[in-house]
Amino acid sequence: MNTDAPNLHNTLFLGTCKGAPVPLPFAEILQHHADVREATTTLMHTEHTLPSDLPSFVSMISFVYAFNTYKALGLLLPELYHESGAVVFRQFWEVSLNLHWIERDPVARAQDFCNFTVMEYRKFIQKSGDSSPLQDFDDATMRFQERFHYRDNRGRNQKHNAFALKNIYNRAEELGEPWKREYELVYNLASLHAHGAPGAILQQYFRQYYSAPEVRERNSVCLIAILSIIILLRDLHLLVRLGVIPNCDEVEMAFASFQNTIASAKPPT
């Protein structure tokens, strides 16, 4: 591809910045990402009993799922696979968003979280090519399904697409900051990669304000690592509030070291 083509120079693209970007401390940030992972692993391995109440149970198993995506980032980012890392980060962010959204009304929302599996399984039956079990399934599960049915403006019966009865944007809006801002920028940018959008595929040709491709790639990795560290600690604080875990002191110590590294990052002289 000829990046000097005039039509390329006349193309707009998001994500520009003023001045030379600060080369982030790549090796140090990835080490902090690993240190936070190890501290969290030690913490979770000391807890052997699943919570007995449903909200805490949903929060715990959701966190384990989120933590697995965090660990997957630890495999992708050192290899500079920031494109796939952005997709996994989007998964991690959305699971974490749901964790915090459920906390606002834990009993009802945890119940909806579990019951929505009925709607997901129903869709599998519809798409299986054999819908003959559908009537019996609906008869047996109608009480659970009713929660996720609604009438649109034309009076037609419709089904909600998410357990929350709200889309991701509305959930982020309800939670407020920092979720609202992360949705507006971080989640949408990660979604470009999840969908293989033009902005994801072409961005390397427009980010020429970097001194070298290596700096651009490393910074892209560092930003994903930084955000995932911050959100993981946010999730652990939620588990502490719920009483699922007693504290996350060791992770806090690893996070403080990470903050010192970020604070010391300086523009090149």
181-224 pLDDT, tens digit per residue, is 999 988 988 999 999 998 888 877 766 666 677 888 888 899 99
pLDDT at 130: 82
Full-model pTM: 0.87
pLDDT at 2: 40
- Decide: residue 31, CB within 10 A, 0-12 exposed, 13-18 middle, 19+ buried: middle
Give CA separation, 208 vs 5, 204, 213, in Å: 14, 8, 8
pLDDT at 152: 83
Tell which residue, 211, 186, 9, has the closest CA to residue 86.
Answer: 186
**Per-residue burial over 131-167, b = 16 or more CB atoms within 10 Å of its CB, e = otherwise:** eeeeeeeeeeeeebbebbeeeeeeeeeeebeebbeee
pLDDT at 193: 94
Is residue 187 left, alpha or beta, with left meaning phi > 0 and alpha meaning psi from -120 to 50?
A: alpha
Q: What is the pLDDT along the chain (269 residues), one digit of tens a residue?
A: 344 444 545 555 455 556 666 788 999 999 999 999 999 999 887 555 677 799 999 999 999 999 999 999 999 999 999 999 999 999 999 999 999 999 999 999 999 999 999 999 999 988 888 888 898 998 999 999 999 988 888 888 889 999 999 999 999 999 999 999 999 988 988 999 999 998 888 877 766 666 677 888 888 899 999 999 999 999 999 999 998 899 999 999 999 999 999 888 765 54
pLDDT at 9: 53
